[in-house]
Structure 1
Amino acid sequence: MMERSGKILCGLQNQYYRATYKSMGFTTEDLKRPMIGIANAWSECVPGHFNLRQVAQRVKDGIYRAGGTPVEFGVIGGCDGMGQGHDGMHYILPSREIIANSIESMAQINLFDGIVLLGSCDKIVPGMLMAAARLDIPCILLPGGPMEGGIEFDGRKSDQTSSTEAYGMLSANKITEKEYTSLENLACPTCGSCAYLGTANTMCSLSEALGMTLPDGGIIPAASAARLAVAEDTGIKIVELVEKNITARQIITKESMRNAIKICLAMSGSTNAVMHLTAIAHEAELDMNVLEEFDQLSGVTPQLAKINPASEYNMVDFYRAGGVSRLLEEMQPIICADEMTVTAHTVLDNIKNHIYQYPEDCRVIKTMADPFGYQGGVAVLRGNLAPDSGITKPGAFDESLHHFTGEAICFDSEEAAEEAILKGVIRDGHVVVIRYEGPKGGPGMREMYKAMKYLYGRGLSKTTALITDGRFSGTNNGCFVGHISPEAAEGGAIAIIKDGDRIEIDVEKRSINLLVSSEEIENRLKEWKRPEPKFKRGYLGLYCKIAASGSEGAILQYDKL
């Protein structure tokens, strides 16, 4: 009998618990084995989770095969895409904490010996990894895999975001209504996490790099038979981890976190990864500044992979080119290969034993000797507009935009900015400022996904910039800076920008500045008044009171209560 589950399933005094399990069909022999929880975020709300029923069954098969007993329970999971552009997006980032808290609660209520975490999407994957780090029991994360790309549109295989870009093109009379509507049935041919390198696939890839997902387990396509095979392998491995007592914090370490950061930089992953890795490190009590690690490592980590939105190639192309395993192999000189992983072997062992199913493709993944660029694809900027930090993704936009100076045009909400863009108010040279969208001010740090896509669709992606204390989707490209901290609702300088002010963004110098005098900034801040919270009841009423800034991972600060 295992140490955790044995506390409630072993001995005459614990008949109550055994009887409760037996009411659901578990047998005496079942209750003598390691009890493995399966935290399943399956739903019909999220395409990245739609196949997790089938995946869960194969995980159960593997657990049974290895001598364990699976016990499945549900976890919420919201789709960022479904929350875009309306009040639902306020709940997306806060749902990460609900996910972590609910898994922690179920693991402790039932004293599971280990957990398999099934989730694929933007806040679900980090929330699950946060729970694993907090619990420090044997855990494996298994995503459902990315979807296939759709019909070709605008020079690449389409996906959901193509529809948003196309709407901008339609509003500018660049395409016909027939061309626009054709995408509805053809952009998303299968279920799975989005076909591009958004936050979902970034975090699935980084879970592999952390060692918390079996090799290729983060990026095997959702509709592939290999997805079900890796599910069974995951079930087998979680029992082995329990037997060997290999827990999450033996895998999530400072060095494995640095490995994940380097992979994120090498593949130009989503800017949201900075915030999520910060939160995971906090839960693992690693005592490291993830933001500073990104800042330092971005200058010495080459960009080896280019995936949509940085190129026309999608996640399935990345998987076939070798994926995270290929990057880890290529980056051996600069990663820590001695770190333990959920295979119960080290990163180096995994590299040596990996079998690639497809040939190399240097269009998607290059070598250390011939990289796409000699610096990472994510950068941390600072200046009088963002003294704590702002995050951008130079790996996903043209080098001509790495130094951009323009005229501010300010909006106090996402919706106001989007309306202005579609009406043609934004013109070449503008720096669109969207504020009061941070963790507290939003609340929930909404994504400015639609605004950037509309700028792209209207042909303004190379002649304008956008800055915000909110976030961006991993699929966004163009000159953008998000996560600006302190946020407007906390009295950050972004709150006092006026229309017509000049703003300078310099990626090479890692700077973002409001080009007015420090005396003028100080005077404006003295006149600024803190706005009333947008939500005063329910979960968001609590969240906006205790959420930390984006630079601190937007974690909940319970000591603020």
Structure 2
Amino acid sequence: MSPLRSNFPVGSPRWATRRTQWHALGLTDDDLAKPKIAIVNSSSGLAPCFSHLDPIAAAVKESIEAAGGVGFEIRTVAPTDFIMSAGGSGGYVLSSRDLVAADIEAVVEGAQLDGMVCLASCDKTTPGQLMAAARIDVPTLILACGYQSCGRLDTGERVDIEEVFLRAGQVASGGITVDALCDMSSRAITSPGVCTGMGTANSMHIVAEALGMTLPGTTPVRANSEPMWRAVRASGAAIVAAVLADRRPRTILTPAAFENAVMSVLAVSGSINTVKHLQAIAREAGIEADVYRVFESCMDFIRPLSAVRPNGEDSIEQFEDAGGALAVLKQLGDVVHGEAITVTGETMAERVAGAVVHDEKIIRPLRDPRGGHPTVVVIRGSLAPDSAIVKLSVTEHRRPVFTGRARVFTDAPSAIAAIENAVVRPGDVLVLRGLGPVGTPGMGMASQTVFALGGAGLTEDVAVVTDGQLSGLVNKGIVVGEVRPEAALPGPLGLVADGDRISIDLTARRVDLLVDDAELARRRPADPVVHNGHTSWLSAYANQIARG
């Protein structure tokens, strides 16, 4: 067993002051020699995603103590898209992922704790926790804290927050009344936990399991269910064993593990946001991997094996009952990298060998997928030389080629107003730029603009190209998101003008600006973009991104 980094020589000033403070918390001298584990809790009263985490943190602490460790609960920022996207043009959402990682680093590294159990909840907490784990490289267990239950309308139709989000875009066009929307809203959430669809939260919980950073068979899971509480009770023994074995994240987060995660995202038709999150985690792990290229490679042979709402009609409960993430890995068969190590010391092959697929209609084998095309599609081209992402549904088929004239907007409200006033017409390509990590700053949300197109009945007749981020649930129409380089950095997106022709070819995986190089050179500004020196978190985040 390696010596615990949290222990200092007896009689030293560091030992004495830690003993003094921890003695005041009720710890004994015997406790001071035990593994010291951070319980990373993003509890918050802002949203149901986090409202049930405090009892979970307390139970994890008991589990750690029963396993021979000492648990210290620490708190981080609690990012929630639906609430925190209101300010800063939506920039506080993605940037808070990095705040989660920094919060964890400051406490766990500053205190030299020995390991951590991270309570995974809403969209940005899981990637932030994984980034921190990879960065500080202390034994870490990701504990998924579950998805919320949803309600039903008087018609018996299921209704959840994703459906409320989608239908709200139809109010302006008369597609739904405010009273009907309020009725949906009042019924949509009936328990704590993350959103019920295969959005970013559930996708990232599955990613954590595919990476080997969770207990086996624990994602996705109903919030406050017995399976969730079983994982909570088992978490203490697992993390203490990982600490004593010195099983660090960088031994788990290998290129093979990342490829397993990418294949799992494609198999469950997961959120497009997983791409940038996995890239950020890989960077923190010190892996020189281009996750975008890994997606492009795996897109050639991985098809969706499940179709959870909004990708199809299956519910997340049916997916969990069919076997969840571990069943998906089982159905992927020989393409899974079985040699990858997990946080419990098992190989992924050993975990998968014990998996059971309870319903092959819900989670199909690789030889018999639910759809014939990849649903998370990385594309490139003259308008997105570094990459962009398109999300497709499992069941719907889009026309593979769309060519139209650009309608350029630099903020979402202007674009939505243009849609509602019929300025945006069938055949247009709506270009919404300035929403990237530097331009917003922090990366703005383009989803409301996409939903406004749906409300106006233009989903199939107007394409969207944006450097902003999209809800993990957006898969209507042709929407090219997260164009890189973003418009605030040197590149073609910032040079697009009204009337320019843009071609999107999903078969060729290209998005091209049909303007000659000489004209683009004429438009290019002589002076580089200067980023502001304001002291807000968003300004600091933008400057950090701009520096690379």
Length-normalised TM-score, structure 2: 0.94
Distance 1:6 1:272 in 2: 36
Paired position in structure 1 for 2:523: 524
Paired position in structure 2 for 1:236: 237
Tell me, yes or no, if the aligned pair for 2:146 and 2:222 is still in contact at 8 Å. yes
Deviations 1:34-77 (A, max 9, x none): 11111111111232221111211221222122111111111111
Paired amino acid for 1:517:
D
Paired position in structure 2 for 1:307: 308
Paired position in structure 1 for 2:217: 216
CA RMSD of aligned residues (A): 2.3
The correspondence of residues 97-112 of structure 1 with structure 2, limited to 5 A, is 97-112=98-113
Moved more, 134-143 or 80-89: 80-89
Distance 2:176 2:373 in 1: 37
Shift of 1:152: 5.1
Paired amino acid for 1:7:
N
Distance 1:270 1:217 in 2: 19
The correspondence of residues 8-407 of structure 1 with structure 2, limited to 5 A, is 8=8, 10=10, 14-84=15-85, 86-87=87-88, 89-151=90-152, 157-354=158-355, 359-362=358-361, 364-395=362-393, 398-407=396-405
Q: Does 1:481 align with 2:480?
A: yes
Paired position in structure 1 for 2:543: 545
Distance 2:313 2:452 in 1: 19
Q: Helix, strand or coil for the counterpart of 1:169?
A: coil
Paired position in structure 2 for 1:434: 432
Distance 2:273 2:382 in 1: 22
Deviations 1:116-174 (A, max 9, x none): 11131222111110110111111011122111233259996322232232223232222
Distance 1:88 1:283 in 2: 27
Q: Helix, strand or coil for the counterpart of 1:171?
A: coil
Distance 1:460 1:535 in 2: 40
Distance 1:469 1:492, change over 3 A: same
Shift of 1:10: 4.4
Shift of 1:185: 0.8
- Structure 1 outlier segments of 4+, above 4 Å: 9-13, 152-156, 529-535
Distance 1:28 1:440 in 2: 50
Distance 1:397 1:422 in 2: 29
Distance 2:372 2:181 in 1: 38
Tell me, yes or no, if the aligned pair for 2:153 and 2:187 is still in contact at 8 Å. no
Distance 1:254 1:280, change over 3 A: same
Distance 2:328 2:70 in 1: 35
Moved more, 422-431 or 218-227: 422-431
Distance 1:266 1:519, change over 3 A: same
Distance 2:156 2:60 in 1: 38
Shift of 1:346: 1.3
Distance 2:222 2:243 in 1: 28
Paired position in structure 1 for 2:462: 464
Q: Does 1:507 align with 2:494?
A: no
Tell me, yes or no, if the aligned pair for 2:331 and 2:363 is still in contact at 8 Å. no
Distance 1:334 1:355, change over 3 A: closer
Distance 1:155 1:375, change over 3 A: farther
Distance 1:153 1:499 in 2: 46
The correspondence of residues 406-421 of structure 1 with structure 2, limited to 5 A, is 406-421=404-419
Paired amino acid for 2:397:
E
Moved more, 213-222 or 323-332: 213-222
Count matched residues: 546
Distance 1:91 1:366, change over 3 A: same
Distance 2:408 2:153 in 1: 35
Deviations 1:475-504 (A, max 9, x none): 111211111111111132112222222211
Paired amino acid for 1:469:
D
**Where does structure 2 lack aligned partners over 5 or more consecutive residues?**
none
Distance 1:9 1:184, change over 3 A: farther
Moved more, 492-501 or 480-489: 492-501
Shift of 1:257: 0.6
Deviations 1:73-109 (A, max 9, x none): 1111110111335426211212122211221121122
Tell me, yes or no, if the aligned pair for 2:371 and 2:395 is still in contact at 8 Å. no
Shift of 1:206: 0.2
Shift of 1:369: 1.9
Distance 2:154 2:482 in 1: 30
Distance 1:426 1:85 in 2: 25
Distance 1:430 1:163 in 2: 27
Paired amino acid for 1:449:
S
Q: Helix, strand or coil for the counterpart of 1:249?
A: helix
Deviations 1:513-546 (A, max 9, x none): 122323322322257x666657733222222222
Paired position in structure 1 for 2:4: 4
Paired amino acid for 1:117:
C
Tell me, yes or no, if the aligned pair for 2:323 and 2:356 is still in contact at 8 Å. no
Moved more, 100-109 or 252-261: 100-109
Q: Helix, strand or coil for the counterpart of 2:146?
A: coil
Paired amino acid for 2:475:
N
Shift of 1:324: 0.7
Distance 2:407 2:271 in 1: 25
Distance 2:84 2:428 in 1: 27
Paired position in structure 2 for 1:551: none
Distance 2:380 2:516 in 1: 17
Distance 1:153 1:391 in 2: 38
Distance 2:218 2:425 in 1: 44
Deviations 1:188-241 (A, max 9, x none): 111111111111211111001000111232311113122122111122200111
Q: Helix, strand or coil for the counterpart of 1:183?
A: helix
Q: Helix, strand or coil for the counterpart of 1:482?
A: strand
Distance 1:370 1:453 in 2: 32
Distance 2:89 2:237 in 1: 38
Shift of 1:302: 1.9
Q: Helix, strand or coil for the counterpart of 1:95?
A: helix
Distance 1:480 1:154, change over 3 A: farther
Q: Helix, strand or coil for the counterpart of 1:331?
A: helix
Q: Does 1:536 align with 2:534?
A: yes
Identical-residue share of aligned pairs (%): 33
Distance 1:59 1:170, change over 3 A: same
Shift of 1:509: 0.2
